[in-house]
């Protein structure tokens, strides 16, 4: 930004004259800096008035604002239903890069020590076509890992431990997407229930790493220690070739509804920062009590400055935006794909190269905006999720119960090929972040084992969590020793993982799905901080090891076959660089007809995809999908330039031992009921 930018350098900047604090508030009439004793954050050592300058920016310079100094802001202003000023209240600086807790539970901002030696560490800069996201919770990923020293388990340091990195590298993922790491707190309701917000979607401050995920040594290591541990984690992951993406929650804050705790934005300028009615009631499109008003330039700037800080000074590689539709709502609370904040996030030169991933919905009117975000954004594709679950789970259940599946294979094929009906040609298939599961909802194993949610432990009488899970328990609700049920569940998991990793788009694996982690049917485990939500690193059952091996195989095959990961959509009759030429055949090896696409009794297709090389060697694959539980004999298609097919993977098998690998075009092969086979065509 130019040096004359009126909102430049908000927060604390250390200068030759001391630290300068700059804070934005439109409605405030008074503002003070309060400095506290470094050993007793309740003891005031200095109070300095702040002066209001141009564009509603208040500022003060003080020699006491040195690294490690604890400080707060006190703000006075007009009374009224939309205001919440209290000149005696100690508020957090929205730009504070460090936070400390007092003995009585209040928060203090502190001036951060940003010093860190990055050495020769460089970003991996992995292209979208090679990206595989791995969504994980910092604590849950390593809390039960016996290879990590006990005092480090569940911390940033543990995530960067050699055993964790070795696991991620061996698995074959490229990018760790961390659930929120901004400093968060637990909602008042959960505190009263004796529960905690485990996921962290209740942000207190947008610049400070969550101290609870740091090692004890860092938490008590003085100014900058927690941040250094976080940066150290990023550095070691980068050196291993792994990217770091942060799940960020800018749509609301932990101040909750108007009766909630006032810690920062509400006390600074409630009428400006939060969407409100004239009577002071909040307009809540997040379902979390409040909604930040991003029609306000200062709120937009807060987000952009936070992103710049994490990307440039902490070196993270990208961001996944929780309820991102909220960030694109205008002054009338309508979603606008041309919203200045959405545009700035992907056009800001200071954020060049960062991955920007939208959760493209919120809970307000017109909140579902999948496919509507501007160029430069990737989006979570819930349509892919639901169609894949239906095809392999609820359609199979319907066929068992009624004798017919609910739908044909056409909708599934569109998702497999990159959801071109959702995302524009200019954005291409890599705009789609494909997922079967995420942190919220059933795990992949639970999708195959439960028809209903089992959330009683969350303290809401099983009312919380979605009732639309698109799941199928295969005949028994929950754990069972029935071998036939277990066999069907394992194959369903292989089909789901295969669909995820062999489809066009960016795949996202939820941590633990690769080996069948279960939450015992809890589909909303946001308040469960226990073995229920932590990854199990101990002994696993045989089927779990087999599923892990299958996931590794699929990730390797995705990497080796560029025809599975086109960057652009193909156009009929044209050669589009980095696209895939797609041909579709039925079980007889003939071009698909309308009946083949749409009939619930004709749920078999053969998908032949040939890459159009731009940076990699030519590659062609054949993916055979069969969506009914009876076996089917297919005739492998004859196609110009194809002399043979080599079987690479079969979801009906744990491995290919004893399978016939080489096949000629025009020959027949049997596809097991409800399964997939991947071939390399040569």
pLDDT given at position 1:
44
Give the SS3 label for residue 247. Answer: strand
Where b means 16+ CB within 10 Å and e means fewer, 68-84 reads ebbbbbbbebeeeebbb
- The 3-state secondary structure of 596-640, one letter per residue: HHHCCCCCEEEEEEEECCCCCCCCEEEEEEECCCCCEEEECCCCC
Confidence band for 223, pLDDT divided at 50, 70 and 90: very high
Print burial letters for 577-595: b (CB count within 10 Å at least 16), e (below 16). Answer: ebbbbbbbbbbebeebeee
Contact (CB, 8 A) for 337 and 328: yes
Does the structure show a pLDDT above 80 at 2?
A: no
Which among 110, 133, 158 is the end of a domain?
Answer: 110
What pLDDT is recorded for position 317?
98
Of 93, 110, 127, the residue that ends a domain is: 110
> What does the pLDDT average to over 227-235?
98
- Token pair recorded at residue 680: 């390399």
Q: Which residues are catalytic?
A: 322, 359
Residues of the chain with pLDDT > 70: what percent? 99
How many domains would you assign to the chain? Answer: 2
Band of pLDDT at residue 248, cut at 50, 70 and 90:
very high
pLDDT in tens, 395-446: 999 999 999 999 999 999 999 999 999 999 999 999 999 999 999 999 999 9
Q: Encoding tokens for residue 644?
A: 């043979």
Is the Cβ–Cβ distance between 678 and 656 less than 8 Å?
no
What's the DSSP call for residue 535? P
Residue 486 lies in a domain: no
Residue 560 pLDDT exceeds 70: yes
**Scanning the structure block, which residue is given the tokens 């940076």?**
615
How many CA atoms, within 13 angstroms, populate the side-chain half-sphere of residue 73?
A: 33
pLDDT in tens, 69-120: 999 999 999 999 999 999 999 999 999 999 999 988 999 999 999 999 999 9
Other CB atoms within a 10 A radius of the CB of residue 167 amount to 18
Do 651 and 612 form a contact (C-beta atoms < 8 A)? no
pLDDT in tens, 459-517: 999 999 999 999 999 999 999 999 999 999 999 999 999 999 999 999 999 999 999 99
In a domain, 210, yes or no: no
The mean of the pLDDT values for the chain is: 96
Residue 34 lies inside a defined structural domain of this protein: yes
CB 588 within 8 A of CB 635: yes
pLDDT for 4 equals 61
pLDDT of 51 strictly over 90: yes
Predicted confidence (pLDDT) at residue 577 exceeds the cutoff of 50: yes
What contacts 244, CB < 8 A, 6 or more positions away? 175, 176, 178, 233, 234, 237, 238, 316, 317
Strand partners, 18: 15
- Using DSSP's 3-state secondary structure scheme, residue 500 falls into helix
Q: How far apart are CA 604 and CA 670, in angstroms?
A: 12
Query: Does the pLDDT at position 587 exceed 50?
Result: yes
Q: What is the pLDDT of residues 614-638, one digit of tens each?
A: 999 999 999 999 999 999 999 999 9
Output the domain CATH number for residue 72.
Answer: 2.60.40.10
Q: Is residue 242 part of a domain?
A: no
- Whole-number Å distance between alpha carbons of 36 and 71: 6
Bridge partners of residue 30, in order along the sequence:
76
What is the reported pTM? 0.97
> Are 159 and 142 spatial neighbours (Cβ–Cβ below 8 Å)?
yes
Average pLDDT over every residue of 267-278: 98
Which residues make Cβ contacts (< 8 Å) with residue 328, sequence separation at least 6? Answer: 294, 335, 336, 337, 339, 341, 342, 369, 373
pLDDT at 170: 98
Domain final position from 74, 91, 110: 110
CATH number at residue 619: 2.60.40.1180
Residue 23 lies in a domain: yes
Determine, yes or no, domain membership for 64. Answer: yes
**pLDDT of the residue at 450:** 98
Handedness of CA 31, 103, 138, 110 (dihedral sign): positive
> Looking at residue 571, what is its pLDDT?
86
**pLDDT range class, residue 654, cuts 50, 70, 90:** confident
Q: Is residue 624 part of a domain?
A: yes
Task: Write out the residue range of the structural domain in which residue 65 sits.
Answer: 11-110
The token pair that represents 377 in the structure block: 């954004």
The alpha-helical segments, DSSP class H, found in 146-296 are 156-159, 162-171, 188-193, 216-219, 225-239, 265-273
What whole-number distance in Å separates Cα of residue 632 and Cα of residue 604? 8
The answer to whether position 554 is within a domain reads no
What would the pLDDT profile of 4-36 be if each residue is shown by its tens digit? 678 989 999 998 788 999 999 999 999 999 999
Q: Closest Cα to residue 393, out of 327, 489, 460, 323?
A: 489
């Amino acid at each position: 930004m130019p040096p004359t930018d009126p909102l430049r350098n908000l927060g604390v900047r250390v200068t030759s004259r001391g630290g300068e604090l700059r804070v934005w508030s439109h409605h405030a009439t008074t503002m003070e800096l309060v400095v506290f004793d470094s050993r007793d954050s309740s003891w005031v050592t200095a109070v300095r008035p702040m002066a209001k300058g141009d564009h509603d920016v208040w500022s003060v310079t003080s020699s006491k604002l040195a690294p490690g100094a604890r400080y707060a802001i006190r703000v006075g202003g007009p009374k009224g239903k939309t205001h919440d000023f209290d000149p005696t209240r100690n508020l957090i600086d929205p730009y504070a890069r460090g936070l400390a807790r007092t003995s009585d539970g209040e928060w203090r901002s502190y001036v951060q020590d940003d010093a860190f030696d990055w050495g020769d560490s460089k970003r991996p800069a992995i292209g979208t076509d090679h990206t595989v996201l791995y969504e994980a919770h910092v604590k849950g990923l390593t809390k039960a890992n016996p290879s990590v020293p006990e005092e480090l388990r569940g911390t940033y340091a543990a995530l960067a431990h050699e055993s964790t990195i070795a696991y991620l590298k061996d698995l074959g993922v490229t990018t760790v997407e961390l659930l929120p790491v901004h400093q968060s707190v637990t909602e008042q309701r959960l505190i009263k229930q004796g529960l905690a917000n485990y996921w962290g979607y209740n942000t207190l401050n947008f610049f400070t790493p969550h101290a609870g995920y740091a090692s004890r040594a860092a938490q008590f290591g003085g100014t900058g220690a927690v941040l250094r541990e976080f940066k150290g984690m990023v550095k070691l992951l980068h050196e291993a070739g792994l990217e770091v993406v942060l799940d960020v929650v800018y749509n609301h804050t932990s101040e909750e509804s108007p009766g909630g705790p006032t810690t920062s934005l509400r006390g600074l300028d409630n009428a400006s920062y939060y969407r409100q009615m004239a009577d002071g009631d909040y307009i809540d499109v997040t379902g979390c009590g409040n909604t930040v008003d991003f029609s306000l330039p200062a709120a937009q700037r807060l987000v952009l400055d936070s992103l710049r800080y994490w990307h440039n000074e902490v070196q993270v590689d990208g961001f996944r935006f929780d309820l991102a539709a909220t960030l694109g709502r205008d002054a009338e609370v309508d979603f606008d794909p041309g919203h200045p904040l959405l545009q700035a996030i992907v056009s800001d030169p200071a954020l060049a190269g960062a991955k920007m991933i939208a959760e493209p919905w919120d809970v307000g009117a017109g909140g579902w905006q999948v496919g509507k975000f501007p160029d430069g954004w990737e989006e979570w594709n819930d349509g892919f999720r639901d169609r894949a679950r239906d095809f392999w789970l609820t359609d199979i259940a319907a066929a068992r119960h009624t004798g017919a599946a609910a739908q044909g294979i056409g909708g599934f094929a569109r998702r497999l090929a990159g959801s071109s009906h959702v995302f524009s040609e200019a954005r291409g298939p890599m705009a789609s972040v494909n997922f079967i599961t995420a942190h919220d909802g059933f795990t992949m194993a639970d999708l195959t084992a439960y028809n209903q949610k089992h959330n009683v432990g969350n303290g809401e009488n099983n009312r919380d969590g979605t009732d639309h899970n698109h799941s199928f328990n295969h005949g028994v609700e929950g754990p069972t020793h029935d071998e036939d049920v277990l066999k069907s569940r394992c194959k369903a998991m292989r089909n789901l993982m295969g669909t995820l990793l062999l489809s066009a788009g960016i795949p996202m694996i939820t941590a633990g799905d690769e080996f069948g982690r279960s939450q015992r049917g809890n589909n909303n485990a946001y308040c469960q901080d226990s073995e229920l939500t932590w990854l199990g690193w101990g002994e696993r059952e045989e089927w779990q090891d087999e599923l892990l091996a299958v996931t590794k195989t699929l990730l390797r095959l995705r990497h080796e076959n560029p025809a599975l990961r086109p960057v652009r959509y193909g156009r009929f009759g044209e050669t589009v660089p980095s696209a895939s030429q797609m041909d579709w055949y039925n079980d007889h090896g003939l071009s698909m007809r309308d009946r083949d696409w749409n009939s619930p009794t004709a749920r078999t297709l053969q998908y032949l995809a040939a890459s159009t090389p731009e940076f990699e060697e030519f590659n062609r694959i054949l993916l055979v999908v069969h969506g009914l539980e009876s076996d089917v004999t297919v005739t492998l298609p004859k196609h110009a330039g194809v002399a043979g097919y080599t079987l690479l993977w079969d979801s009906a098998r744990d491995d290919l031992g004893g399978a016939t690998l080489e096949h000629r075009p025009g020959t027949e092969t049997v596809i097991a009921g409800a399964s997939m086979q991947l071939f390399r065509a040569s």
